[in-house]
């Protein structure tokens, strides 16, 4: 079947299998940042924003994206021009192996879209569904709060 969607601002009109996952689709379309960690929605490394909200793409049917917009980390920054949130992740030491990072960045982005000055507790709860096995989360929380301060200073996009 064919669906129409926007991926990181680019329109696509693509063939999908009716039972295909959104994870499979976005990787086919080149969004390699979206990664499979468990394939049943438990780990969060496949998180994407669907119509502005984080969802787990491995258990979201690709057909659900019909007429909608999908955002992945590819839309935020590039290695040469990082998004302030991505800068904060690097500065705080929130990236170790980096496998969970794109999903983590997206839930943090979603939080900072909704909340200007999240407390540590707020951040902990927002990222609770995204598993990281490397960091112990402390530096991820620091990164998100650092990014919130940058946002308050008007350094955001």
Partner 1 sequence: MRLQGVVRYHRARDTEEALSLLAGYEGRGALLAGGVDVARSPRRDVEGLIDIAGAGLSHVKLTERGGLLLGATVTLTELVESRVAAQYCGGVLVETLSLFSAAPLRNMATLGGAVVSAHPWADVPTLLVALGAELRWTDGMERKGSLEGVYAGAFRELFRNAVLTEVRLPPCDGGFAFYKLRRSAADVAMLNAACGLGVAQGRIAWARIALGATPTRGRRLPWLEELVQGEVPGAELWEEVAAQVRAKLDTGDDRRATGEWRRKAAGPLVARALAQAVERAR
Partner 2 sequence: MAVGTSKRSVVGHNVTKVDGPSLVCGRPKFTMDIDLSGSLVGVILPSPHAHARIKSIDTSAAESLSGVVCVLHHGNVSRIAHTTAGQGWPEPSPYDTFLFDNKVRYVGDKVAAVAANSEQVAREALRRISVEYEVLPSLLSVDAALAAGSPAIHDETDAEGIYDAAGNVAAAVDIPVGDVAAALAQAEVTVEATCEIPYSQHVPIEPHCTVAYFDEDGRLVVRTSTQVPFHVRRIVARVLELPLHRVRVVKPRIGGGFGVKQEVLLEPVAGALALRTGKAVRMVFTREEEFVSSRTRHPMKVRVALGAGKDGVLRALEMEATSNTGAYGAHALTVLSNVGSKTLPLYNKPHDLRFHGRAVYTNLPVAGAYRGYGATQGYFPLEVAMDQLAERLQIDPVELRLRNHIREGETSPIFERIGEGREGVAQIVRSCKLEECLRLGAERFGWREKRSAPRQRGPLTYGVGMACAMQGSGITGIDMGAATIMLNEDGSFRLLIGATDLGTGSDTVLAQIAAEMLGVPVEKISVYSSDTDFTPFDVGAYASSTTYVSGTAVLRAAQEVRSQVLDVAAAMLRQSRDTLEIHDGRVHGSAGKSVSLEEVGHRAAYVVDQHHIAATASCVPEESPPPFAAFFAEVCVDRETGLVRLERMLGVADCGVALHPRLAEGQVEGAMAQGVGHALFEEMVFSERGRCVNTNLLDYRIPSSTDLRSLEAILVDSYEPSGPLGAKSIAEIGINGPLPAISNAIYHAVGVRLARAPFTPGRVLRALEGKG
Whether the Cβ atoms of residue 126 and residue 153 lie closer than 8 Å to each other: no
- The correct pick among 6, 28, 29, 64 for binding partner 1 (CB under 8 A) is 64
Confirm or reject binding of residue 152 to partner 2 (CB under 8 A).
Answer: no
- The correct pick among 53, 133, 138, 155 for binding partner 1 (CB under 8 A) is 53
Question: DSSP H helical segments within 5-117, as ranges?
Answer: 22-28, 84-92, 101-114
Using the 8-state DSSP alphabet, how is residue 2 labeled? E
Question: DSSP H helical segments within the chain, as ranges?
Answer: 22-28, 84-92, 101-114, 120-126, 138-152
Q: Which residues contact 121 (CB under 8 A, 6 or more apart)?
A: none
| Stretch touching partner 1 by CB under 8 A, among 68-76, 77-85, 128-136, 142-150 | 128-136
Distance from C-alpha of 5 to C-alpha of 67, rounded to nearest angstrom: 5
Q: What mask, x for binding partner 1 by CB under 8 A, covers residues 80 to 119?
A: ---------------------------x--x---------
* Residues of the shown chain interacting with partner 1 in the complex, contacts defined by CB under 8 A: 1, 17-21, 23-24, 39-41, 44, 47, 50, 53-56, 58-61, 63-64, 66, 107, 110, 125-130
The binding site for partner 2 (CB under 8 A) comprises 31-40, 42-43, 45, 72-74, 76-80, 82, 86, 89-93, 95-102, 105, 120-121, 123-125, 127-141
């Amino acid at each position: 079947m064919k669906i129409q969607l926007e991926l990181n601002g680019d329109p696509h009109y693509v063939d999908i299998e009716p039972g295909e996952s959104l994870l499979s689709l976005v990787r086919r379309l080149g969004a390699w940042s979206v990664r499979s960690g468990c394939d049943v929605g438990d780990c969060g490394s496949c998180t994407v924003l669907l119509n502005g909200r984080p969802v787990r793409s491995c258990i979201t049917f690709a057909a659900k994206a019909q007429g909608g917009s999908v955002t992945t980390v590819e839309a935020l920054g590039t290695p040469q021009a990082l998004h302030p949130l991505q800068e904060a992740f690097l500065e705080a030491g929130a990236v170790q192996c980096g496998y969970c990072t794109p999903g983590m960045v997206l839930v943090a982005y979603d939080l900072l879209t909704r909340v200007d000055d999240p407390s540590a507790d707020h951040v902990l709860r927002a990222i609770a569904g995204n598993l990281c096995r490397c960091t112990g989360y402390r530096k991820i929380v620091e990164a998100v709060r650092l990014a919130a301060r940058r946002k308050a200073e008007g350094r955001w996009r």
